[in-house]
Chain A
Amino acid sequence: MKKDTNGFHRFRGTAGYIASGPLVDAVNCAVALERPLLIKGEPGTGKTLLATHVADGLGMPMLSWHIKSTSKAADGLYVYDTVQRLNDSRFGGGDVADIRHYIKLGPLGLAFAAPERHVLLIDEIDKADLEFPNDLLRELDEMRFTVVETAEEVIARQRPVVMITSNNEKELPDAFLRRCIFHFTEFPDAALMRKIVAVHHPNLDAALLDQVLIKFYWLREQSELRKKPSTSELIDWISALLRAGITRDKLESHIPFIGALLKKEQDADALQRYDTKGGSYPTRWSDLGPRYNQ
Chain B
Amino acid sequence: MFLDLFYGLRDEGVPVALQEWMTFIEALREGLHGSSLLRFYHLARACLVKSETYYDSFDRVFARVFHGVEGQFDVTDEVLEWLRNAKDFPNLTPEQLAQLERLSADELMQRFLETLAKQTERHDGGDRWVGTGGRSPYGHGGQHPTGIRVGGSGGGRSAMKVAGERRFRDYRTDVALDARQMRVALRRLRQLTRTGLASELDLDETIDETCRNAGEIELVFRPPRRNDVRLLLLMDVGGTMDPYFEPMSQLLTALHEERGLRDFEPYYFHNCIYDHVYRRAHLTRADAVPTGDLLRRFDERWKLAIVGDAAMHPSELLEPHGGINPHNTSPTPGVAWLHRLAGHFDRAVWINPDDQPLWDQTYTARTIRRLFPMFHLSVDGLGAAVQALVGARV
List the interface of chain A (C-beta within 8 A of B). 3, 21-22, 24-26, 28-30, 32-33, 35, 38, 40, 82-83, 86, 89-90, 130, 168-171, 174, 177-184, 186, 223-224, 226-227, 291
Contact, CB under 8 Å: B19 / A24: no
For the complex, would chain B's binding face be called helix, strand, loop or mixed by DSSP majority? helix
Chain B residues whose C-beta falls within 8 Å of the C-beta of A35 in the assembled complex: 23
Given A3-B30, A25-B32, check contact A181 B46 (CB 8 Å): yes
Determine the interface band of chain B, counting residues with CB < 8 A from chain A: 35 or more
With beta carbons under 8 angstroms apart, the residue of A29, A82, A86 that contacts B46 is: A29
Q: Check B32–A28 contact: CB distance below 8 A.
A: yes
Contact among B32, B184, B246 for A171, CB-based, below 8 A: B184
Residues on B with C-beta less than 8 A from A180 are 50
- Docked Cα-Cα span, A179 to B153, in Å, equals 26
Bound complex: CA of A44 vs CA of B52, how far in Å? 17
B366 at interface, CB cutoff 8 A: no
* A21 CA to B188 CA, complexed, in Å: 35
Question: Which B residues are in CB contact (< 8 Å) with A29?
Answer: 27, 32, 43, 46-47
User: With contacts A33-B23, A130-B188 known, is A226 near B51, CB below 8 A?
Assistant: no
A-B pairs with beta carbons under 8 Å apart, 9 shown = A21-B39, A22-B46, A25-B42, A25-B46, A83-B203, A86-B207, A90-B215, A170-B184, A171-B383
Chain A residue contacts of B17, Cβ below 8 A:
178
Whether A182 contacts B50 in the complex (CB less than 8 A), given A26-B42, A29-B43, comes out as: yes
List 4 A-B pairs, minimum CB-CB distance, nearest first. Answer: A25-B42, A184-B52, A177-B50, A26-B46
Contact status B46-A24, CB under 8 Å:
no
**In the assembly, what is the distance between CA of A186 and CA of B43, in Å?**
17
Other A-B contacts than A169-B183, A177-B50, 18 sampled, CB-CB below 8 A, are A21-B42, A29-B32, A29-B43, A32-B32, A33-B26, A33-B30, A40-B52, A168-B184, A169-B187, A170-B184, A170-B187, A170-B188, A178-B17, A178-B20, A182-B49, A183-B46, A223-B178, A226-B253
Give Cα A38 to B50, complex, Å.
9
B112 to chain A, nearest CB (A): 15
Which has the most chain A C-beta neighbours within 10 Å: B17, B42, B154, B187? Answer: B42
Q: Whole-angstrom distance from the CB of A36 to the nearest CB of chain B?
A: 11
Bound Cα distance from A3 to B42, whole angstroms: 21
The answer to whether B45 and A22 touch across the interface, beta carbons within 8 angstroms, is yes
Is B250 located at the chain interface by the 8 A CB criterion? yes
Residue of B nearest to A189 (CB): B167
A291 to B165, CA, bound (A): 10
Is the Cβ of B47 less than 8 Å from the Cβ of A181?
yes
For chain B residues 6-34, which have a beta carbon within 8 Å of chain A?
15, 17, 19-20, 23, 26-27, 30, 32
CA distance A33 to B26 in the complex (A): 7
Closest to A12 in B: B153
Task: State the Cβ distance, A288 to closest chain B Cβ, in Å.
Answer: 15
Interface contact B154-A178, CB-CB below 8 Å: no
Contacts of B15 in A (CB 8 A): 174
Smallest distance from the beta carbon of B227 to chain A beta carbons, Å?
A: 12
Interface 0/1 of B281-322, CB less than 8 Å to A: 000000000000000000000000000000000000000000
Asked whether A21 and B155 contact (CB < 8 A) given A32-B32, A83-B203, A183-B46, the answer is: yes
Of the candidates A3, A130, A169, A224, the one whose C-beta lies within 8 Å of that of B246 is A224
Nearest CB in chain A: distance from B83 CB, A: 14
Residue of B nearest to A294 (CB): B165
Question: In the assembled complex, which residues on chain B have CB atoms less than 8 Å from the CB atom of A224?
Answer: 246
B55's nearest neighbour on chain A, judged by CB, is A184
Q: Complex Cα distance A56/B253, Å?
A: 43
B330 at the interface (CB under 8 A from A): no
Contact B250 A226 (CB under 8 A): yes
For the complex formed, measure the closest distance between the CB of B32 and the CB atoms of chain A, giving whole angstroms: 5
Minimum C-beta distance from B58 to chain A (A): 11
- Contacting pair B250 A21 (CB below 8 A): no
Q: A166 to chain B: closest CB distance in Å? A: 10
Q: How far, in angstroms, from A147 to B15 measured CA to CA in the complex? A: 36
The answer, yes or no, to whether B179 is at the interface (CB within 8 Å) is yes
Closest partner residue, chain B, to A168 (CB atom): B184
B153 adjacent to A25 (CB under 8 Å): yes
- Residue-wise, chain B 140-176 has the 8 Å CB interface mask toward A (1 for contact) of 0000000000000111000000000001100000000
- Cα(A186)–Cα(B30), bound, Å: 27
Most buried by B among A40, A169, A184: A184
A contact residues around B23 at 8 Å (CB): 33, 35, 181
Confirm or deny: B367 has a beta carbon within 8 angstroms of a beta carbon on chain A. no
Chain A's closest residue to B170 (CB) is A223
Closest to A32 in B: B30
Q: How far is it, in angstroms, between the C-alpha of A86 and the C-alpha of B207 when the chains are bound?
A: 9
User: How many Å from the CB of A279 to the closest CB on chain B?
Assistant: 18
Residue of B nearest to A8 (CB): B30
- Across the interface, name the chain A residue whose C-beta is closest to B190: A130
Neighbour of B27 across the interface among A32, A90, A183, CB < 8 A: A32
What CA separation (Å) do A171 and B181 show in the bound complex?
Answer: 10
> Is B210 an interface residue when CB atoms closer than 8 A count as contact?
yes
Question: Taking the nearest CB of chain A, how far is it from the CB of B167, in angstroms?
Answer: 7
**CB pair B153 A24 closer than 8 Å:** yes
Bound Cα distance from A40 to B296, whole angstroms: 45
CB-CB under 8 A from A171, the residues of chain B are 184, 187-188, 383
How far apart sit A24 and B34, CA to CA, in the bound complex (Å)? 13
Shortest Cβ distance from B48 into A: residue? A182
Tell me how far the C-beta of B273 lies from the nearest C-beta in chain A, rounded to whole angstroms. Answer: 29
| In the bound complex, CA of A89 to CA of B211 (Å) | 12
